[in-house]
Each structure stands twice: as C-alpha cells, then as structure tokens.
Structure 1
C-alpha cells in the first residue's frame, strides 16, 4: 500500500465525505474513489458503507483506521 493511499483512506475516514477528502488533499474525487476501491480490493472487503446520502466506516474500516493511523503518525513524526 502506497503512502498516498494511506493518506487518502485516513482523510476519508475523518471526513466521511469523498469530495471534502479530495479538496483537503488537492486531488480529484475520482482519485479518492479509485484509491479507496484499490484499498478495499487489497483487504478483500468494503471499508466504507456508501449511500447517496452518507458515507460511514464499516467495522473493518474502523479497525484499519485505528491501526494505520498510529503507524502513519509515527512516520510523519519521523519525517
């Protein structure tokens, strides 16, 4: 998993909105969707429960968010 995909996932987990995630990270909404789909394929299950009205994390998404967030903060602190 690439660092940018981790950043996209973590930001989307915070925002719970793909458009705002794209704005925060200065990428297109399509890039956010592609990255999330690629990550979901990699883990083999949905990370977000999406409808036309809302986005929320699945149980697996919540677990991955907790685990990646800790490691991501260590990387950022190290840089």
Structure 2
C-alpha cells in the first residue's frame, strides 16, 4: 500500500464514482480501477461494492477511509512543517552569550 493508492482510494470513496474520481485525479479511469484492484488485493478485502450504476464502500472500505484520510493529512502536515523549517518560519533558535552579555545585552534584547 502506498500514498498514491491511498489518494486514489479516497478520491473514489468521496466521489462514489470511478469516472469522476479519475477526472479529479487528472488520469484515465482504467489505471485508477487497476490501482484500486491492486490495493484490494494487497489488503485482502473488497473495498467497494460496484454495480453498473453506483459504487459504495464496504465495511472494510469505510474502515480504511478513516485511516487513509488520517495518513494523508499527516503526510501533508509533515510536508508543511518541513517547508516552514526550511524557510526559517518555524524551528528553534539557540542564543549563546558570555557572562557580560547575559547581564547587559540580553535583558535589553529580550
């Protein structure tokens, strides 16, 4: 199971339609369907009940959807934190000072 498969799964689960999910993901429907079948094979469970008119989540799919959303949100949070640290807007600043600076300079800076 990889992040790409989880993104695909969430898109199908939220749209309840392979065609609309493929459009949302800017891809063809066939590779999307193949990726979902591969995911189902990897987890050992059917995630969607498919008919000619609709796509519904199975109980296993509902369970995975909660975890998939949490995992994807965690990955996005990590990416955002790394960007902020790299930009210098988040992180730890360590200040060193001599005894003289600690008594005269640092109180004025603080």
TM-score by length of 2: 0.69
CA distance in 1, matches of 2:71, 2:2: 13
Bigger Cα displacement from structure 2, 52-61 vs 1-10: 1-10
Give the greater-gyration-radius structure (CA): 2
Aligned to 2:47: 47
| Structure with greater contact order relative to length (CA < 8 Å, sep ≥ 6) | 1
Residues 21-63 of structure 1: CA deviation (Å, up to 9, x unaligned)? 1001111100110011000001111100000010000000000
What is the deviation of 1:77? 1.8
CA distance in 2, matches of 1:18, 1:34: 11
Aligned to 1:62: 62
CA distance in 1, matches of 2:41, 2:47: 10
CA distance in 2, matches of 1:3, 1:15: 18
What is the deviation of 1:76? 1.1
CA distance in 2, matches of 1:19, 1:48: 14
CA distance in 1, matches of 2:47, 2:20: 18
CA distance in 2, matches of 1:65, 1:2: 14
Is 1:6 the equivalent of 2:15? Answer: no
